[in-house]
C-alpha cells in the first residue's frame, strides 16, 4: 500500500477559496470557515467599535493602539485571520496601507462559534504564541464569556475569565474599563 504525501498548503491554495469563506493556513493546513452568525458578528463589531473609540481614538482611555477586524496575518508559513487584532502604536507607529501584515500584533481576539471553536482554541492559540503575540482573547457570545490569555514562552496560558455583564479590566487594556454587556445580543 502506498502512502499519499500531502504537501503543505500554499498561499496560492488559499487564493482559490471562494470569497464567501474565510481561509487560513495554520501549521501547513488549509482551513475554511463560513461567515459568522449574528451573535458572533454582533460581539465582534461591538468589541472592535469599543476598542477603536476608547483605545485608538482615546475616548476615556489612552490612544495607544491600532485595531483591525479580520486582518490577514502572514507569520512565517502561517496565514492567520483573527476576528480582531491590535497593535500598540509604539510597535507600529502608523497603520500601513497593505493587503496583509507581517508584523505580529500585540493582541488578537477570536470570537468563537460552534464551527470555529476547535480551530481557534486548539490550532490557532498555540500558533499565536509561537509567533510571539503576547495577548489573546477568546470571546464566546453564546456563553457570554471572555477568556484572557497571556503568552508564556511558546504557550498561551489562561490568565483570567470574565462572564455575564458588567465592566471588566483585562490585559492588555487595563486600566481602561470595558463593559461586557455591550457584547451580547439580548434574548
In the chain, where are the structural domains located? 37-183
Longest distance between any two alpha carbons in the chain, whole Å: 65
SS3 for 26-37, per residue? ECCEEEEEECCC
Cα four-point dihedral sign 46, 176, 83, 120: negative
What is the structure's pLDDT at 102? 96
What is the structure's pLDDT at 7? 80
> Over pLDDT 90: what percentage of the chain?
84
Q: Over 70: is that where the pLDDT of 4 sits?
A: no
CB atoms within 10 A of CB 18: 7
CATH number for the region 37-183 comes to 3.90.1570.10
Quick one: average pLDDT of 95-100? Answer: 96
pTM of the predicted protein model: 0.93
Average pLDDT, the chain: 93
What is the structure's pLDDT at 81? 97
Q: Over 50: is that where the pLDDT of 121 sits?
A: yes
Amino acid at each position: 500500500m502506498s502512502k499519499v504525501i500531502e504537501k503543505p498548503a500554499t498561499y496560492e491554495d488559499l487564493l482559490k477559496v471562494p470569497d464567501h469563506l474565510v481561509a487560513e493556513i495554520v501549521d501547513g493546513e488549509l482551513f475554511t470557515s463560513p461567515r459568522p452568525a449574528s451573535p458572533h458578528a454582533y460581539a465582534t463589531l461591538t468589541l472592535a467599535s469599543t476598542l477603536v473609540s476608547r483605545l485608538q481614538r482615546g475616548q476615556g482611555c489612552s490612544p495607544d493602539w491600532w485595531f483591525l477586524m479580520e486582518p490577514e496575518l502572514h507569520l512565517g508559513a502561517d496565514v492567520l485571520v483573527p476576528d480582531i487584532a491590535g497593535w500598540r502604536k509604539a510597535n507600529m507607529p502608523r497603520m500601513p496601507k497593505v493587503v496583509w501584515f507581517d508584523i505580529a500584533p500585540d493582541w488578537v481576539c477570536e470570537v468563537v462559534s460552534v464551527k470555529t471553536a476547535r480551530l481557534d482554541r486548539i490550532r490557532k492559540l498555540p500558533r499565536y504564541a509561537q509567533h510571539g503575540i503576547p495577548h489573546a482573547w477568546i470571546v464566546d457570545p453564546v456563553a457570554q464569556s471572555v477568556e484572557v490569555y497571556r503568552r508564556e514562552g511558546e504557550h498561551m496560558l489562561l490568565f483570567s475569565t470574565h462572564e455575564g455583564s458588567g465592566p471588566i479590566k483585562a490585559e492588555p487594556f487595563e486600566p481602561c474599563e470595558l463593559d461586557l454587556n455591550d457584547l451580547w445580543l439580548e434574548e
